[in-house]
Amino acid sequence: MKIIGGPSSQALACRVAAGLNIKPTITDFIRFPDNEQYVQIKEDVTDEEVVLIQSTASDSDLVALLQLLDACESAKMVTVVIPYMGYARQDKKFKDGEAISARAMARAVTAHNLNKVYTINLHEKNILNYFSCPAEDLDASQLIAEYAAGLGLKRPLLIAPDKGVRNMVENMAAGMNLDWDVFDKTRLAGDHVVMADKKMDVEGRDVIIVDDMIATGGTMAEAVGILEKNGAHDVYVACIHPVLTRNAVLRLSNAGVKDIIATDTIEKVQSRISAAPIIIEALKK
Ligand code: R5P
């Protein structure tokens, strides 16, 4: 088996390869003077089983994934792992004339002959149906729960910032025997959310708010404000996908967040938890 990490998921690919006792395949990525991308797989993949790992947090990451897929044409079998799939939040038409962006991405990826696609904590599971090959969504939330349980927090409480991640947070709490609660969020604009004020039993407790992703940090900042008003001790924010766009890091720190905890589905300094174990487990299956 060859493990090929794309430009956005090099560290994660190395962790997966190490867990399978394989050296990651060397791949080169450069840009031409006009800024177009170029990829080259430095080993022959003819008749090999290939696992391609590449998050698509940016447009250029998606292009690199498509290029790598093309470069794997002679492989016997190609499995693609998209740890963070960009454009997944536009999973349906909200207004007439809109593209279903998640479907467009899935179609582009499965224009190639693939064995299987794995994603991790997709924003909406129905996106799996847009891939024309078998597709499975892996769950990294328990890795965060285990990490949180090891932090030695004071009467910890897990919080879901909205109903979309209610089940995920409930399962995380059940797995580690932690308390949990949920907020009620309404999004008014891309970077503006409001949260219904809610009395919670947070006085003097350490709290971890967990979401599938943190983008602008608006959701988390709003939740932190309410928790602080209610007398929470330390407030941590955690997510599977640290998109952390614009000034999210500054915004969260300014809101009083003690730390940002995230996985390496997107490789950032905050990505202290690796999703490699769940990928390895899926590949071994
Ligand atoms: C939305 O439904 C997602 O689960 C996240 O809550 C959202 O994407 C976070 O975005 P932001 O950090 O911009 O509030």
Same fold, 2-139+274-284 and 141-264: yes
What's the distance, CA 118 to chain centroid? 12
State if residue 50 touches ligand 1 by the CB under 6 angstroms criterion.
no
Identify which has the larger pLDDT, 123 or 135.
135
The residues spanned by each domain of the chain are 2-139+274-284, 141-264
- Give yes or no for residue 181 CB within 6 A of ligand 1: no
- Say how many Å lie between the CA of residue 159 and the centre of ligand 1: 14
For ligand 1, atom 4: residue with the closest CA: 212
Q: Which pLDDT belongs to residue 87?
A: 97
CA dihedral (10, 70, 138, 265) in degrees, to 10, reads: 30
Out of 73-77, 223-227, 239-243, which region has the weakest mean confidence (pLDDT)? 223-227
As annotated, the active-site residues are: 185
Neighbours of 46 (CB within 10 A): 10
The residue length of the chain stands at 285
Taking only Cα atoms into account, the Rg of the chain, rounded to an integer number of angstroms, comes to 20
Expressed in angstroms, the distance from the first to the final Cα of the chain is 14
Torsion of CA 63, 68, 74, 76, to 10 degrees: -110
CA 251 to ligand 1 center in whole angstroms: 14
* pTM: predicted TM-score of the whole model, two decimal places: 0.95
% of the chain beyond a pLDDT of 70: 100
> Between the CA atoms of 73, 75, 76 and 81, what dihedral angle is there, to the nearest 10 degrees?
-90
Mean pLDDT value across residues 81-105: 96
- For ligand 1, whether the C-beta of 218 sits within 6 Å is yes
Task: Give residue 33's Cα distance to chain centre.
Answer: 31
State residue 200's pLDDT score: 83
> How high is the pLDDT of residue 224?
94
Mean pLDDT score, 190-219: 89
Sequence-distant (≥ 6) Cβ neighbours of residue 122 within 8 angstroms: 85, 88, 128, 137
**Cβ-Cβ contacts under 8 Å for 159 (sequence gap 6 or more):** 169, 180, 181, 182, 183, 200, 207, 208, 209, 210, 223, 227
The residue among 196 and 105 whose pLDDT is bigger is: 105
| Residue 199 predicted with pLDDT over 90 | no
Domain 2-139+274-284, CATH? 3.40.50.2020
Of the pLDDT bands very low, low, confident and very high (cuts 50, 70, 90), residue 235 is: very high
Looking at CATH, the fold of the domain delimited by 141-264 is given as Rossmann fold (3.40.50)
Q: 87 phi and psi, to 5 degrees?
A: 70, 10
